[in-house]
Structure 1
Amino acid sequence: MQCDYFDAGACRSCTWMGQAYDEQVAAKQARNAELLAPWPGTVWLPPVTSPESGFRNKAKMVVAGTVEAPTLGILDRAGGGVDLRGCGLHDPRLAAAMPVLAAFVTRAALTPYDVPQRSGELKHLIVTVSPDGSLMVRFVLRSTESVARIRKHLPWLAEQLPLEVVSVNLQPAHKAVLEGEREELLVGSTLPMRTGDVLLQLRPQSFFQTNGHVGAELYRQAAAWVADLAPTTVWDLFCGVGGFALHLAAPGRRVTGVEISEEAVTSARTSAAELPGVTFVAADATAWAPAQPAAPDLVVVNPPRRGLGPELAGWLESSGVPHVLYSSCNAVTLAKDLAAMPSYRPVTGRLLDMFPQTAHFEVVTLLERVGR
């Protein structure tokens, strides 16, 4: 992939930009093999690759510059705006929305936040596109000062873009935090995101895989492995908006998703409204799992980059659960967690290139308790 921003030195976020894609995938496979070498019996399936560009369904843009000439992108070292509205990683429909959103900043007189001066109102624009092309647009503001103007000019924006959800998020603190806790819906409430055979309902503060193509393959692979095991009870820990739980739903199977974010659980419950046997709980998975009276046939874990941690890994080790499906965005912490669970061995696994042009990758493994 060629990128003018990278070539000009304006943005170096994609550290592997310019490297041939097959070389990128091979390097990720080599790194994965190095980290998981202590488990040599694992059967590795061919990697899932991604389009090299246009794969991101979500754009997180820092807003800087002026009302008359806003920049949407990142900040340079001095805190000035670097406009990246033509980023090649974004779904083309996101790229097409950026000039319109920049014009809206001017029309609604939304003063971009100036980090060095600690002044201004609009900090970020977070935009998500669904497979059908509809948009969720979130304005991250320092205060409510400009909310009335956003409301006033929303009819114009709705004429220009296929808006499904519009919200404002308040992040008053002067620190490098993308968003705050308070969210106010202005238009709609959920963005329908079809992934594989499942229609997920995404609310503004809910996590969702930003690479829809590879995310669908991840859920498809998990469903195939679980179909062979045919468990009657499944826990999906760190379930987010319910991607794994909803794809693993089946007649006669009880699936419980656990997620600390109430917003994500609300999304998951909306998606599962007509699915018997699927429930979601808003709780800390690390505390929730050990507190249950009995363990399930299968546990799915999809933790953040820090991994499971010693407490949850220790509970799994002593739980007696026959199988664990572990989806990891950080193979370093995956290896650490596996070392803390010697009663399990990876039976099969697959690397998924969720993040082209970078060294990051996803890996999913099916673990089996030794001696079953």
Structure 2
Amino acid sequence: MAQACADEIARLLQLAQQGQAGFAINDDIKSLQPADIAILVRDRNEAALVRRELSARNVRSVYLSDNDSIFQSAEASAVLTWLRACQQVEDESLLRAALALPLSSNSDAQLSHWYNDEQAWEQLTEQVRLFRQIWRQKGVLAMLSSWLHYFSLPAKWLAQEQGERRLTNVLHLAELLQSESQQRDGESGLLRWLAEQLQSPKSSDEQQLRLESDQQLVQVVTIHKSKGLQYNLVFLPFICGFKSVKKGQPQRYFNGTEMVLDLTPDDAALQSAERERLLEDIRLLYVALTRPVYACYLGLGLFSEGNAKQSKLSQSALGYLLGIGEQPTLTELQQVLVRLPWQAQPLPAYGKLTAPADTAQLTSALTLKAALKREH
């Protein structure tokens, strides 16, 4: 489903570049843009799956979630490790751990050079001492900026998939740390605060993940986040998926008068919980289906889990509303779809999106000419 979704989006965007796909508005044609497209998903796992397929087709995207905290990111853990190494530069094990992180983007050859060349290691530790001095004199934001540029991390990341996301997260963390440092007692207090945030991330507006770019990107959005919003084209590749109630696990359900949390549910309780699950899935389906302005693509097919021989499509919200039987066949599914005013058809495979010739290039940064006023 993720591959079919990405194929169709790449095909549409390629047609748009050729002037063959757009929206008719007041006798004019508005060309289709990536930001016109939204892919609605349930969680980060579905988002990662479809974004990987989009990236393989040269289609850039951004993930929008309603509850992701910056402190849940891999970058937050890496920044904490960097800061600890900087604060305690005499502890070689901390610096080695910081340099070996995947996010530090150091090759095996570079690490070996530092570890085995005593002079190179001494030069590096002296540089880290300078970082600590910058931290104490100018603040943690300046120190992290110096760290990034000394190791050429922005250039390394931006050459990789999701590199822009990494850079945005680190800069966001640097800003939060700089602001929090004014309320904390020294470096140790700030590190304790950051470690606490990693253990118990909150969901304040300041801590929610930021968009990595304001460019034209396909939007991958959680269904919850999409409430009240509209998108010109909506793709629902995983809309038939669901998480059925599992035996042996506590269940939450409504017993007619109040919500119940049953720690040892029996068969009747499991049936009630399964009904609650289905009702919630139907509500989410309604939200998803009412987001598009012009068109909505649904990933619909017979699927099974594990070694099961029968499809579970009937247990999904869409299968339930379509009246799919408990043991559906492909013929039955096709007959159901024929009765609907939908264009049910397999999507053609498509290759990579060709970048337009007039892709905007980065321009030189502006030069600050005014004098800076410093407070002591």
In terms of fraction of residues, the more helix-rich structure is: 2
Q: Work out which structure has the larger RCO, using CA pairs closer than 8 Å and 6 or more positions apart in sequence.
A: 2
In terms of fraction of residues, the more strand-rich structure is: 1
TM-score tier after normalising by the smaller chain length: under 0.3
Relative to the length of structure 2, the TM-score reads 0.26
